[in-house]
């Protein structure tokens, strides 16, 4: 993802803040160097603002546990060849969700082997995410378990993109990816070219955008999912399981409708209010149009049909279960009574999710100004408080054959 293509070289007439943006946009690293959830454990961190992913994981927990119980046994006695059960969390981020998920998987497998085989195998858990992820916070949480009764597995971090190979052939027995695969590997090049019909003028996401923009994102999402599945096909042993939870949209709904209904489209943090916050910076002379139009949120909500087609193209997997589910935004009645707290909570959510890539585009000062504008708009728009936002997710369980 190259931001340097959006730079105006003649900066002499620009506001000083705009010139600072241009300096930040000369950063020429790839998206994988900055795309991550906000690290640490302060009020803006992903660890403190991951209720929506936690709700999605809770929703799919019974499906994951049922899938584990239906898996084949990889060995029936201590003398057999398999030395440990190896699990990977792909796109692990940091915080409670990833640790709770691995704990749940290990506990379920341990109980299964004790019941059916009479012994406990050893377990290895691999936490994988982009190098920009806050692995330090994750490792600190893990280190507190090392010398306690809570340690259930041997853990390791694996930095890298899950759109590439991360493990040796036939290394994994279970691979899970929860609330991560809707993030793309990069923004399509045509979307970053202002001469292109896919230049996403006036918007930061694809919901409601021109068909050329949507098609560019859909093509990138298709390639990314193909790459993800091809890599997991090599890494997962026969009989092993791939379990995916990702943002999605209802079946047969066209990709330009990334969200399910008008209220969700109005209230989702990536849509109307976010566009308005960017427009505020533009109206105040803090950024120019190219700066606004050159920023895009690298997310795409696939349909069940798109996922099924990708798995069939890849081969090597048998789909055991694929479902679309809806998650309703919580605490609506509570937020109606306290719109200021609601605005703060929503702003903290988007900071936890988008701050690293916004800061790479705008720099630290103006990124904070953007989120402040977003918070103010959410707090003052009382019509939004009475709307209900649904988040769609797709849940997939596939067995390596």
Q: What is the pLDDT of residue 181?
A: 96
Give the integer Cα–Cα distance in Å for 53 and 327. Answer: 10
| Strand, coil or helix: 160 | coil
Please give the pLDDT value at position 341: 82
Structure token digits, residue 137: 């916070």
pLDDT score of 208: 87
Provide the residue-wise pLDDT of the chain in tens; the chain has 401 residues.
333 333 333 333 444 444 344 444 433 346 555 555 554 555 544 545 556 666 777 888 899 999 999 898 886 555 555 679 999 999 988 767 778 899 999 999 999 999 988 888 999 999 999 888 888 888 887 776 555 555 689 999 999 999 999 999 999 999 999 989 999 999 999 999 999 999 999 999 999 899 999 999 999 999 999 999 999 999 999 999 999 999 999 988 899 999 989 999 888 888 999 999 999 999 999 999 999 999 999 999 999 999 999 999 999 999 999 999 998 876 666 767 788 888 888 888 888 888 888 988 999 999 999 999 999 999 998 888 888 888 899 999 999 99
Asked if residue 378 is part of any domain, the answer here is yes
Does some domain include residue 22? no
The domain tally of the chain equals 1
For 144, residues 6+ apart whose C-beta sits below 8 A from its C-beta are none
CATH number at residue 193: 3.40.50.150
Distance between CA atoms of residues 119 and 109, nearest Å: 11
How confident is the model at residue 306, as a pLDDT? 97
In a domain? residue 32? no
Q: What is the pLDDT of residue 109?
A: 94
Cβ of 83: how many Cβ atoms within 10 Å? 10
Beta bridge partners of 129: 159
Domain membership flag for residue 20:
no
3-class DSSP assignment, residue 325:
strand
Is 344 among the domain residues? yes
Integer CA distances (angstroms), 357 to 19, 38, 301, 306, 324, in order: 18, 10, 19, 27, 29
11 inside domain: no
Encoded tokens for 20: 């600072």
Residue 86 lies in a domain: yes
How long is the chain? Answer: 401
CA angle 207, 212, 214 (to 5 degrees): 30
39 falls within a domain: no
Give the separation between CA 392 and CA 265, rounded to whole angstroms.
Answer: 12
Domain that holds residue 105: 51-400
Cβ neighbour number for residue 129 with a 10 Å cutoff: 26
């Amino acid at each position: 993802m190259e931001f340097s293509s959006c730079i105006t070289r003649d900066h002499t007439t620009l506001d000083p803040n705009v010139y600072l943006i241009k300096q930040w946009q000369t950063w020429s690293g790839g998206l994988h160097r900055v795309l991550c959830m906000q690290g640490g454990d302060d009020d803006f961190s992903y660890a403190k603002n991951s209720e929506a992913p936690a709700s999605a994981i809770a929703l799919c927990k019974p499906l994951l546990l049922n899938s584990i119980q239906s898996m084949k046994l990889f060995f029936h006695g201590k003398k057999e060849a398999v030395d440990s059960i190896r699990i990977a969390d792909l796109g692990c981020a940091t915080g409670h969700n990833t640790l709770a998920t691995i704990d749940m998987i290990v506990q379920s497998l341990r109980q299964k082997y004790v019941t059916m085989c009479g012994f406990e195998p050893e377990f290895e858990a691999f936490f994988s995410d982009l190098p920009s992820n806050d692995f330090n916070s994750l490792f600190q949480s893990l280190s507190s378990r090392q010398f306690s009764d809570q340690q259930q597995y041997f853990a390791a971090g694996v930095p890298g993109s899950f759109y590439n190979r991360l493990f040796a052939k036939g290394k994994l027995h279970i691979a899970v990816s929860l609330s991560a695969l809707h993030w793309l590997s990069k923004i399509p090049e045509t979307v970053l070219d202002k001469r292109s019909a896919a230049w996403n003028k006036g918007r930061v996401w694809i919901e409601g955008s021109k068909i050329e923009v949507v098609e560019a994102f859909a093509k990138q999402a298709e390639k990314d999912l193909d790459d993800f599945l091809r890599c997991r096909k090599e890494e997962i042993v026969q009989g092993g399981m791939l379990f995916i939870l990702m943002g999605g949209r209802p079946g047969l709904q066209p990709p330009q409708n990334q969200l399910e209904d008008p209220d969700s489209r109005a209230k989702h943090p990536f849509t109307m209010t976010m566009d308005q916050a960017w427009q505020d910076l533009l109206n105040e002379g803090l950024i120019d149009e190219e700066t606004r139009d050159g920023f895009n949120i690298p997310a795409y909500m696939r349909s069940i049909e798109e996922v099924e087609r990708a798995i069939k193209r890849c081969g090597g997997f048998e789909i055991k279960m694929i479902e679309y589910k809806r998650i309703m935004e919580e605490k609506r009645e509570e937020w109606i009574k306290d719109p200021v707290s609601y605005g703060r909570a929503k702003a903290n959510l988007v900071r936890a999710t988008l701050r690293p890539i916004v800061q790479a585009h705008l720099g630290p000062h103006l990124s904070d100004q953007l989120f402040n504008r977003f918070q103010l708009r959410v707090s003052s728009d009382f019509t939004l408080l009475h709307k209900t936002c649904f988040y769609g997710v797709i849940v997939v369980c596939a067995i390596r054959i």
